Structure 1
Amino acid sequence: MAALAPDRMTEEIDGFGYFRYFGQIGDVGMQQTRVTASEFQAAFGALSDRARREPVVITKHGRDSLVVMSAEEWARLKRRDRRAGLTADLSDAWIEAVQSASVPSEFERRDSELK
């Protein structure tokens, strides 16, 4: 491995060099590999194995195009996917439930921290 920069190095897999980045993906610092589309095709087996451990970013014309990752990581990200809605869309029953909600006694000490 030849160091290119403190946050980037290159490795060789199946005769092709590719860049490995240590950067930010979402809100978690995560190691990732960056390859061109043709490099990914040529080293599909090795890079798909790597994608089970860390995201593999595939570039096309010098721009990020696709990310290959494990099914487990995809499921984790989907679980974190948040849906937002307007309070105006809530039913009267929901609004009443929120207004009448109380903090369970075992968490009352935490409730006082927020006031």
Structure 2
Amino acid sequence: MFAAARTADMHLAIYPETPYFPDRRIAMPQSVSSVEVSKSFGRISRRALEAPLTITHHGHDSLVLMSHAEYQRLKSRDREVLALGDFTEEDRAAIAASRATAEAADFDDELRHN
């Protein structure tokens, strides 16, 4: 949930607290046009250091400008997907022999309510 407002040159949104926006009252520009970015890259890039900005082109979302730290944070969440053929027989045997810990039983109710 967030509150939105409009200024003369861009939309502002006030986002709830997140790890990236620890103060819930931060007003961040949600989007800027590519024309504005080309005219005011310095100002826009400084804003992108505080919060990611969507850059629009002909009214359509085109790019996102964000700090390198935020990019690295998002990139670190990437996962590698493996196919069954990527595992050795030893890996498969270890997976088959593995058992969930006692704490995992706390999630059994999620399976029953489906």
TM-score normalised by length of structure 1: 0.68
> Unmatched 5+ residue regions in structure 2?
22-27, 109-114
Match of 1:38 among 28, 35, 38: 35
Verify: 1:21 aligned to 2:13, yes or no. Answer: yes
In structure 1, the residue corresponding to 2:76 is in which secondary structure?
helix
Seq. identity, %: 28
Aligned in 2, Cα 1:65/1:112: closer, same or farther, shift over 3 Å? Answer: closer
> Which residue pairs with 2:68 in the alignment?
71
- Partner Cα distance (2:3, 2:94) in 1: 50
Aligned in 2, Cα 1:109/1:32: closer, same or farther, shift over 3 Å? Answer: farther
- Partner Cα distance (1:18, 1:41) in 2: 15
- Partner Cα distance (2:97, 2:29) in 1: 47
Aligned in 2, Cα 1:98/1:21: closer, same or farther, shift over 3 Å? Answer: same
Q: Which structure shows the bigger proportion of residues in strand conformation? A: 1
TM-score normalised by length of structure 2: 0.68
> Which residue pairs with 2:103 in the alignment?
110
> Unmatched 5+ residue regions in structure 1?
1-5
Instruction: Please say if residues 51 and 68 of structure 1, whose CA atoms lie closer than 8 Å, have aligned partners that are also in contact.
Output: yes
Offset of 1:49 from its aligned partner? 0.7
Instruction: Please say if residues 10 and 29 of structure 2, whose CA atoms lie closer than 8 Å, have aligned partners that are also in contact.
Output: no
> Which residue pairs with 1:82 in the alignment?
79
